Amino acid sequence: MSQPRTAPASRRDLDVAVGILVGLRGCSERAAFEELVGVVNRTGLGLFNVAASLIAVAAGSSSAADTEAFNAWGELIRHARTAALAPVT
């Protein structure tokens, strides 16, 4: 299990993380929030920490503290980046 982040996360981080999942999954805000809570339940990390870690992974600025978020969403984010870079034909 990763160490919690040292910088305090905020409600804004939670809203941004929900928005990231809504954008990537095309799901509702409720479903995105429930996905975040699922990761919290599996990892034992706090909700704001998980949200901040998801933001870091999505921004490409993650660290060892963001391992759990990378495990949960790294492939989803990688796939979205690959699709965004694919040439339009």
Per-residue pLDDT of the chain (89 residues; tens, 9 = 90+): 444 455 567 899 999 999 999 999 999 999 999 999 999 999 999 999 999 999 999 999 999 999 999 999 999 999 998 988 878 77
In a domain, 44, yes or no: yes
Whole-model pTM: value is: 0.85
In a domain, 5, yes or no: no
Q: Which domain holds residue 33?
A: 11-85
In a domain, 6, yes or no: no
Residue type, 80: A
In a domain, 45, yes or no: yes
In a domain, 4, yes or no: no
In a domain, 49, yes or no: yes
Q: What's the domain count of the chain?
A: 1
